[in-house]
Amino acid sequence: THETPDEYAGRLNLALAGTASEKSGLARDLDDVTAAYDAARYDEHEPEGGPAHSTLRQQAERIMQALRSQSRQERLEQQGSRSRRKR
């Protein structure tokens, strides 16, 4: 399927659902990274170097960390349910 970055961000936002405080922080990170992408892609305006660029990099890393953690947790849950079925 072809989806816009904003549609993809919406799916990521759902995937990142966690505790309220985690969600609000990650949702803000995702909003900021998506806005920066939209500006670079459609307005042809790259974020300034320095602190703003560093902040976006940190936000993207937090998003990726949350997705990796969620994926790891899902794999562990799947392995646990398989081993319970084998018993």
pLDDT digits (tens, 9 = 90+) for 11-55: 888 877 765 556 578 888 998 999 988 888 888 877 777 778 889
Q: What is the pLDDT of residue 84?
A: 66
User: In 3-state terms, what secondary structure has residue 3?
Assistant: coil
Tokens of 63: 């998003």
Write down the pTM of the prediction.
Answer: 0.70
Is residue 38 within 8 Å of residue 5, measured between CB atoms?
yes
User: In 3-state terms, what secondary structure has residue 50?
Assistant: coil
The amino acid sitting at 50 is G
Spatial distance between the Cα atoms of 78 and 37, rounded to a whole number of angstroms? 34
SS3 content of the chain, % helix, strand, coil (to 5): 80, 0, 20
Confidence band of 60 (pLDDT split at 50, 70, 90):
very high
Which one, of 8, 34, 20, 18, lies nearest residue 70 by Cα? 18
Q: What is the pLDDT of residue 56?
A: 93
Q: Which residue has tokens 């990650």?
A: 26
